[in-house]
């Protein structure tokens, strides 16, 4: 794991080091990302924050993992996260044993397992990854044994539960920066969903799979995948049931992020409009298949899309006065404040940026402490201050930064 405690661990410095190892000039790297040469230069010098789009594009162009540039997984010892990272070996064993259930495991009954999966999903929704990591490896072993031994409708329901539990594994792997484990967990999510014989659950896994294309800067393929999801669901949104509307609307929201990264602003805002209409038809926020789709998530994505396009003014315009209901999942709320902090940074208001980061910490502390864009935002705030304010010093210390 990487320490992330010196300026050498800044994303810009890591991009510069990897670029030089490849023997590329800044212009050559910019052409391959693609982006402007000035953006590469400013990020490498620490004058401008690296966006997730730039990190993904640079990783692809330099033929390195995203974690090589972000420094993930971050060093746990200095920040008290040893417990979180300690669960990773158990996850690996459970994910590798997808077709070889432990013969010594005696799984509980179906309803008991369903209740346990529901409880685990709440932990993931709340961003309580330490507690989720305590229960999930054993739960995956139980569900695997139960699903392989079952038949008929019982078997299908158990595989649906297993798919949902695997989703929790992807959340922990992503949060901690174990990207290889995340990819493996994604494969298991889809495999179990297909065994559940639930077409909407399968469609949901394709929405989830699209994040791999987002992280790999394979935007054309991600866009095609999401187009296929919507095509399979149909375009007559007025006739869709609530669960279908949720999957359909979530696909449009993810497509908006892809379009913003290309960048294609008209397409991004068109997808937001389509998602907003689906949310209107849905009638309010819902949580079908763990998608948390509804008007609140559309509003959250409006800010995210603006941030992806480095448009701080638009991000602030859409997000500064946004009041989200208390029913919004803490991890969604935390991610929104992380995006809003970047928007305020682009807009030039460092005080508001730090306030947004503090709100993210209150909402979802484990997610916030392990998010590379939080560290990048804090690094820029620190660099801009001649005398570091006490609140900023405290936040940087909490992250494990100098």
pLDDT tens, per residue, the chain with 402 residues? 554 444 556 999 999 999 999 999 999 999 999 999 999 999 999 999 999 999 999 999 999 999 999 999 987 655 667 788 888 998 899 999 999 998 899 999 999 999 999 999 999 999 999 999 999 999 999 999 999 999 999 999 999 999 999 999 999 999 999 999 999 999 999 999 999 999 999 999 999 999 999 999 999 999 999 999 999 999 899 999 999 999 999 999 999 999 999 999 999 999 999 999 999 999 999 999 999 999 999 999 999 999 999 999 999 999 999 999 999 999 999 999 999 999 999 999 999 999 999 999 999 999 999 999 999 999 999 999 888 899 999 999 999 887
351-356 contacts at long range (C-beta below 8 A, 24 or more positions apart): 352/316, 352/320, 353/377, 353/381, 354/381, 354/389, 354/391, 354/392, 354/395
What is the phi-psi region of residue 293: left when phi exceeds 0, alpha when psi lies from -120 to 50, beta otherwise? beta
**Res 1: pLDDT:** 52
Considering the entire predicted model, what is its pTM? 0.94
Domain positions in the chain: 1-71, 211-321
Residue 96 belongs to what H/E stretch?
Answer: helix 88-96
Task: Decide if domain 1-71 falls under CATH 1.10.260.40.
Answer: yes
Q: What pLDDT sits at residue 205?
A: 98
What tokens were used for 97?
């044993």
Which residues does residue 2 pair with via DSSP β-bridges, in sequence order?
Answer: 74
CB atoms within 10 A of CB 51: 22
pLDDT at position 6 is 43
pLDDT at 8: 53
Question: What's the Cα-to-Cα distance from 255 to each of 64, 262, 287, rounded to whole Å?
Answer: 25, 11, 19
């Amino acid at each position: 794991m990487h320490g992330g405690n010196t300026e050498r661990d800044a994303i810009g410095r890591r991009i510069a080091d990897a670029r030089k190892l490849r023997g590329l000039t800044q212009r050559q790297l910019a052409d391959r990302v693609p982006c402007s040469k000035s953006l590469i230069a400013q990020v490498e010098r620490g004058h401008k924050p690296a966006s997730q789009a730039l990190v993904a594009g640079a990783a692809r162009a330099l033929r390195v993992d995203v974690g090589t540039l972000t420094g993930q997984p971050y060093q746990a010892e200095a920040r008290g996260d040893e417990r979180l990272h300690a669960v990773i070996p158990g996850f690996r064993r459970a994910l590798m044993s997808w077709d070889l259930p432990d013969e010594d495991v005696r799984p509980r009954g179906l309803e008991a397992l369903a209740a346990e999966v529901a409880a685990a999903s709440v932990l993931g929704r709340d961003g309580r990854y330490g507690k989720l990591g305590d229960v999930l490896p054993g739960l995956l072993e139980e569900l695997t044994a139960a699903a392989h031994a079952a038949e008929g409708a019982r078997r299908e329901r158990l595989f649906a539960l297993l798919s949902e539990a695997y989703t929790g594994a992807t959340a922990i792997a992503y949060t901690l920066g174990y990207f290889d484990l995340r990819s493996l967990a994604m494969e298991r999510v889809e495999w179990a969903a297909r065994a559940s014989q639930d077409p909407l659950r399968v469609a949901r896994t394709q929405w989830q799979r699209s994040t791999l294309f987002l992280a790999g800067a394979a935007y054309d393929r991600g866009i095609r995948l999401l187009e296929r999801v919507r095509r399979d669901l149909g375009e007559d949104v007025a006739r869709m049931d609530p669960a279908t509307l949720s999957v359909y609307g979530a696909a449009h929201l993810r497509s908006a992020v892809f379009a913003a990264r290309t960048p294609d602003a008209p397409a991004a805002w068109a997808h937001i409009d389509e998602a907003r209409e689906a949310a209107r038809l849905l009638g309010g926020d819902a949580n079908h298949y763990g998608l948390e789709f509804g008007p609140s998530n559309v509003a959250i994505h409006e800010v995210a899309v603006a941030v992806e396009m480095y448009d701080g003014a638009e991000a602030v315009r859409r997000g500064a006065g946004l009041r989200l209901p208390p029913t919004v999942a803490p991890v969604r709320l935390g991610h929104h404040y992380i995006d809003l902090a970047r928007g305020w940074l682009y807009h030039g208001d460092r005080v508001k940026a730090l306030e947004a980061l503090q709100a993210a910490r209150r909402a979802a502390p484990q997610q916030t402490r392990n998010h590379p864009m939080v560290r990048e935002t804090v690094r820029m705030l620190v660099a801009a201050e001649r005398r570091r304010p006490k609140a900023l010093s405290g936040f940087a210390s909490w992250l494990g930064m100098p």
